[in-house]
Structure 1
Amino acid sequence: MTAATTARRPLSAAAKRGIWIGVVALVLLGIVLGTKVVPSDDPLAQGAVDFDPATFGVEHFPEVQAAVVDKAVDAETLAAAIAADPAAAEEEYAVQSSGGPVYSVTFTGVVGEGQAGMYPVTVDGVPDDLLIRVQTGPAINGTELRDATGEIAFGQFKNQIDFQNAAAALNDELKTAVLADVDTANLTGKTIEVTGAFTLVNPAAWLVTPVELSVQ
């Protein structure tokens, strides 16, 4: 057999056209199978929705409130645990945050003279050198409510600004949902029951952001 007889015969124009038609068909099939049909009223079809702090606060404050109440440790027990072994207390009771360990606490005590909406509270059973204060507004500061559950994370937000605004939104909703029914200007001398959260920055001073506050 000669080289001339064994050489591959070139494809005809009709064969080439058939191959290209087959390739195009496979590509189109892949597109169809990989396409998701989204209804016009689906959020995915409407583009990214901007973060709305007011909506976030209203929607998420109740679940934050419930989680803090569920996790809250009485102040006497928590103060003793932190004094005895800070690392063990943190492991058992705290939720980690970028600002430090966040604790949920509950206590009853007598309110002292306040300043700028922050009141010291004398709580039986805690060390005399432990200053416990509760903030009541009008300005509520800090990220305790955002961080207390461990369920609200930076990765859920577009950027740091939205993450910070989430904390502010929860603080604002606290004023509406809880503190609006409390005469926060006249708490001195009153006995109050508080459940809330604080970030442990100074073991000798707790600044508690309440999720529940009642005057007895």
Structure 2
Amino acid sequence: MPNKLTWLSFAVPILAGMAGLGLTACKILPTPSMQGGGNAPAFNPDKMIEDIWAPKVIPYLQQKGGPFPEVHALATTDPAAAGAKYGNPNKQANSPWTFAVRLEGKIVAANTQSRAATIDVDVDGDGKADARVQIGPAVRGTALRDSLDFIQFNDFTNQIDFAQFGKAFNIYADKTALSKLPREALEGRSAKVLGAYTLGSGQDLPLVTPAEAEIGPKP
């Protein structure tokens, strides 16, 4: 039977080797502040949106967006075909389709009591709402971001940055367009919108997020 000294001399190298394997299996991932040696510019989604809004975002929506009735009719029958024509074909495979649209019609209902204010718009003249348009200041979803084929998840460091970038679109849309809209006596007025919406379950009105919006005078 080996004495204690012999056993220790045999066990210590094994324990040291096991510890080394444990350390090798662990990776230390850099935090954003560590990347680029601390010299990389800080992530600023608001500035990024401001830089691309006029030269890229608005022209893209103007070119890609189709009339809402046409887009929605195709989207409900053949989402992939609608996505190829009006949406972002480069979207993540498990994400719903998001479409660029131009919408015009008459406001038949308005909810301006909530910070997530909306107007319901009749686009075909039958007196019933066909779409719900967000008018802020709180804007839900990331439809504007998701409709753009030049914005991809893989362009971002992580999911948090990608989510913040999507939120920044809504903030900028409110600052430049939605905050200027009237809030009183909206029913009966005309509405004109350039924006995007995500295909939902079909049980609720399509929720359109504007990049540009106009509300006409009182009738």
TM-score, structure 1 length as denominator?
0.70
Q: Distance in 1 between matches of 2:184 and 2:59?
A: 26
Cα deviation, residue 148, structure 1: 1.1
Whether the 8 Å contact between 1:119 and 1:134 is mirrored in structure 2 is yes
Q: 1:186 to 1:58 in 2, by over 3 A?
A: farther
Whether 1:61 and 2:53 are equivalent positions in the alignment is yes
Whether the 8 Å contact between 2:136 and 2:179 is mirrored in structure 1 is no
SS at match of 1:50: coil
- Number of the residue aligned with 2:176: 177
- Number of the residue aligned with 2:86: 93
Aligned length: 172
Q: Which runs of 5+ in 1 are unaligned?
A: 1-43
SS at match of 1:113: strand
Whether 1:191 and 2:193 are equivalent positions in the alignment is no
Of 59, 70, 80, 2:73 maps to: 80
Q: Which runs of 5+ in 2 are unaligned?
A: 1-35
Cα deviation, residue 125, structure 1: 6.7
Q: Distance in 2 between matches of 1:190 and 1:52?
A: 38
Structure 2 counterparts to residues 7-22 of structure 1, below 5 A = none
- Number of the residue aligned with 1:103: 99
Identity %: 30
- Number of the residue aligned with 2:43: 51
- Number of the residue aligned with 1:3: none
Q: 1:67 to 1:185 in 2, by over 3 A?
A: farther
Larger Rg: 1
Whether the 8 Å contact between 2:137 and 2:178 is mirrored in structure 1 is no
Cα deviation, residue 112, structure 1: 2.4
Cα deviation, residue 138, structure 1: 1.4
Per mean C-alpha deviation after superposition, the further-off stretch among 81-90 and 107-116 is 81-90
Letter aligned with residue 121 of structure 2: V
SS at match of 1:112: strand
Moved over 4 A (4+): none
Q: Distance in 2 between matches of 1:112 and 1:213?
A: 16
Whether the 8 Å contact between 2:88 and 2:97 is mirrored in structure 1 is yes
Q: 1:54 to 1:101 in 2, by over 3 A?
A: same
- Number of the residue aligned with 2:212: 212
Alpha carbon RMSD of aligned pairs, Å? Answer: 2.5
Q: 1:183 to 1:210 in 2, by over 3 A?
A: same
Deviations 1:91-132 (A, max 9, x none): 332214343111111121111222331111011179x6x741
Per mean C-alpha deviation after superposition, the further-off stretch among 51-60 and 157-166 is 51-60
Whether the 8 Å contact between 1:61 and 1:174 is mirrored in structure 2 is no
Whether the 8 Å contact between 1:199 and 1:206 is mirrored in structure 2 is yes
SS at match of 1:140: coil
Cα deviation, residue 144, structure 1: 1.1
Whether the 8 Å contact between 1:57 and 1:172 is mirrored in structure 2 is no
Deviations 1:68-113 (A, max 9, x none): 1211101222233234433432333221434311111112111122
Whether the 8 Å contact between 1:135 and 1:207 is mirrored in structure 2 is yes
TM-score, structure 2 length as denominator?
0.69
Give the structure, 1 or 2, with the largest relative contact order (CA under 8 Å, sep 6 or more).
1
